[in-house]
């Protein structure tokens, strides 16, 4: 009634095909990226490093909404140092290279943020000025 001789091998082939990427790579996602840190030994950021890794996009979205939608341009103070809200005003002051800092993790995680549709890095701005 049921064609066991074709269904069972078909299911086995299906499971092998679906799980192929997992067992072929040996459960290895590759080397963890090491983004280039800011020059000058700057170690303080707006939030601790682990928190920035986990939720920097939420922070940037919150800042964007505060500044653009609410007109709230109040600075953020961390350990006595003031940061202006914004990707270019705070982050890009230290992390000047999109390629060497941002893209190393975004490419690894296969994420395509839309930040760069509007923002330009200090490196890219300097290149544009020389042309």
Eight-state DSSP code of residue 116: G
Cα end-to-end distance, the chain, whole Å? 75
> Per-residue pLDDT for the chain (131 aa), expressed as one digit of tens each?
578 888 999 999 999 999 998 888 777 777 888 888 887 767 778 888 899 989 999 999 999 999 989 988 888 888 888 888 888 888 888 888 888 899 999 999 889 998 888 888 877 778 877 76
Q: Which residues pair with 76 in a beta bridge?
A: 83
Would you say the pTM of this structure is higher than 0.85? no
């Amino acid at each position: 009634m049921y064609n066991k001789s074709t269904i069972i091998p078909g299911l086995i082939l299906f499971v092998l095909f679906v799980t192929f990427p997992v067992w072929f790579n040996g459960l290895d996602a590759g080397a963890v990226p090491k983004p280039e840190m800011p020059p000058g030994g700057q170690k303080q950021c707006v939030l601790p490093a682990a928190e920035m890794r986990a939720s920097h996009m939420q922070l940037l979205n919150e800042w964007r909404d505060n500044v653009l939608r609410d007109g709230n341009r109040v600075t953020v103070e961390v350990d006595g140092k003031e940061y202006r809200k914004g990707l270019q005003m705070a982050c890009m002051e230290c992390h000047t290279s999109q390629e060497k800092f941002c893209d190393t993790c975004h490419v690894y995680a296969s994420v395509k943020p839309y930040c760069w549709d509007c923002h330009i890095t200090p490196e890219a701005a300097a290149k544009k000025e020389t042309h």
